Structure 1
């Protein structure tokens, strides 16, 4: 079961890499101030630039790494990415000013890409009938890292120097680098039947309408999520919470959403293997869109926490199912490139979402952001439903012609 062992290593490696990338979020403004920024406005500006830099550079190079993975192998790409993270995280701990910090955060995005590379390897090596479950498991590891990283980032600066945290993260990723080198394997032999299978998949013409729709869904999903997350703290404050409890209750709201996604991703992926990934995408988008409506109307924090947990359960299966749909609609020689584009779309959503959400909240109010995001998700669900119905009609037509 070679693909299962590779999945386990990718799960662990992605978990570790995401922890290393997100551990700095709680103390990023403090580190920026330590590097010479003065005044709240300047600290906030440089913190935002440093945070977005990684996603911007990663979005630019993700299709390139996916293409190279198709050409030279996913294992080599993962080794490159893990070693790149070892170097870049260590260098961040040695930065001397904020300009160097931004440049090194750009390097993280350029040299990294372990999680996107893991998606490529798992999607390419896992049997298609198990791809939804496998991608869901990998997604759970990534989201778990995103949950644990900020929690550690809130505790570690109280017990050690910030620079030491980055060096420790670099050392932790080094173990992942060794595990990737020693235990990730590529198929050693290719039988005549498997050669024929790869050749037949290679000449399959991608259904570009489906692929492009899934790329759009990936971007909209991250954009919708990131348009809400930055304003959660402000929204909690409007619900009559005392000042001392605002931050930890806002963190609880964010953690509830992440926990829901972690719990649901493998299960929804397994469901997608049974009934079809595109069906799960339609239902999850619709449910998530509907759940945003009551979030705009809550009067108590506990109501928001419960609804964020429910929304996390709905959103958890979307990215694995989106990637499964892409995998099923492209040839084997295009998997890495197309999944690279999907990664770029997600990063683009992470950059655009907070900007749009912030402007909308400032101009039209916090509750408007929930309503507008709900409308976007429901329209996207409707578009995917039309795509599903068209695909079903095409399949029925093909069966009739064969009959």
Structure 2
């Protein structure tokens, strides 16, 4: 088996497990924060949004920094550092005594994490050029699928094994990712050949910064939309199923429905992207997702919400892979790794601001407005994609 294929298999598993591990905490955060002594509903919503999102904000800040070190010492050491560090920190969350200790550990997790970024850089820089788009699309599917299936798993663990075991099992998953990476990832890396450029120098060498900037913005909007509901979905499900004793499990299922749909639809949308162009897939998916968000504000039961979330996953399955394919195409080969680091930072900022936005909108205006505002952002992004990426790339490909 070729080296890049073996690395892709290991990275796919590692990214999938890592994203399941980190995202399965989401549906139990409100319940855990209440367990830690916060009982006011609005305070629970705001603490949940902040505790969930601060991890991703720090990821956005530190991803380029760890990318700089990856160019110096290699990507595999960054994979090992990230997976081992997250295993220790997340396991420790099961022992916290108050919400501020929890937030502190979430911040530390954001500083030391970055497994997905390091894997993306490794695959982007070491995969054969003719297979790079497919490989990056597959890796993005692992990230999205793991992130969106994680909450269902977290809800199941909370339901059957208790709140704290969510953190203990998550830490164990991180250690599995560390061990598989240590044993099976191989990197062809020559430190002497690597020229480390500053962010400004990288940006100056990009042939079309406007196009790349729109792709970064699209990555940001996509993740903001997907995660705006995550911190408050447990509260929403509580309103919809006030008599249910399985709130955490139902909340995880509702959020993870889109992840399951993404796994099903991603290969087909990948083939469609190869046939008609990724810019067309991005535009269509943004428009459909913007429409699907609206009826989620009017559902009367958790099952209706799950169905709409599943349809949303079918629409959004090709978004991040298609964006990654275009980022690869418009980036100079020698800068691909660094540029993917910036693209991942845009996604992390989207997760952070999405979770903060969802929590704040819900606290001040009501949960239903989260869906309306998210829908509006997707439509605005669709207009921007059409006026720049779609028109420009269609002209090139005709």
Note whether the superposition's TM-score is higher than 0.5.
yes
CA distance in 1 between partners of 2:293 and 2:76 (Å): 40
Q: Secondary structure at the match of 1:244?
A: coil
CA apart distance, 1:168: 4.4
8 Å contact from structure 1 (residues 256, 312) kept in 2: yes
Deviations 1:10-62 (A, max 9, x none): 1111122223223333443554466x535446666554443233112112111
* Distance of 1:307 and 1:111 partners within structure 2: 35
Cα distance in 1 for residues equivalent to 2:366 and 2:27: 26
Maintained 8 Å contact 1:236/1:249: yes
> What are the Cα deviations for residues 345-368 of structure 1, in whole angstroms up to 9, with x where unaligned?
222222222343445456656555
Shift of 1:157: 4.6
Change (3 A) 1:372 1:160: closer
8 Å Cα contact 1:221-1:349 kept in structure 2: yes
Native 8 Å contact 2:283 2:386 kept in 1: yes
- CA 1:33–1:300 in 2, change beyond 3 Å: closer, same or farther? closer
Residue in 2 that maps onto 1:17: 18
Q: Secondary structure at the match of 2:228?
A: helix
- Paired residues in the alignment total 383
Contact 1:7 1:122 in 2 (8 A): yes
**1:192 corresponding residue in structure 2:** none
Q: TM-score, normalised by structure 1?
A: 0.81
CA contact (8 A) 1:64 1:337 kept: no
C-alpha separation between the residues in 2 aligned to 1:168 and 1:230? 20
CA deviation map 1:166-204 (0-9, x unaligned) = 444434322322221221112379xxxxxxxxxxx9996
Deviation at 1:333, TM superposition (A): 3.0
Distance 2:91 2:127 in 1: 33
1:124: which partner in 2? 125
Point out the more displaced range, 117-126 or 145-154: 145-154
Which residue pairs with 1:67 in the alignment? 68
1:79 to partner: Cα distance: 1.9
Structure 2 CA distance for partners of 1:372 and 1:82, relative to 1, 3 Å: closer
Q: Does 1:277 align with 2:281?
A: no
Deviation at 1:303, TM superposition (A): 4.8
TM-score normalised by L of structure 2: 0.81
Judged with a 3 Å threshold, the aligned counterparts in structure 2 of structure 1 residues 386 and 129 are, in CA distance, closer, same or farther, namely farther
Give the equivalent residue in structure 1 for 2:392. 390
Instruction: Kindly state the Cα deviation for residue 131 of structure 1 after the two structures are TM-superposed.
Output: 3.3
User: In structure 2, do the counterparts of structure 1 residues 214 and 5 end up closer, same or farther at CA, with 3 Å as the change threshold?
Assistant: same
C-alpha distance 234-117 of structure 1, shift in aligned 2 (>3 A): same
Query: Which segments of 5 or more consecutive residues in structure 1 lack a partner in the other structure?
Result: 190-200, 397-403
Structure 1 counterpart SS, 2:207: coil
CA contact (8 A) 1:207 1:329 kept: yes
Equivalent residue runs for 1:246-261 within 5 Å: 247=247, 250-261=251-262
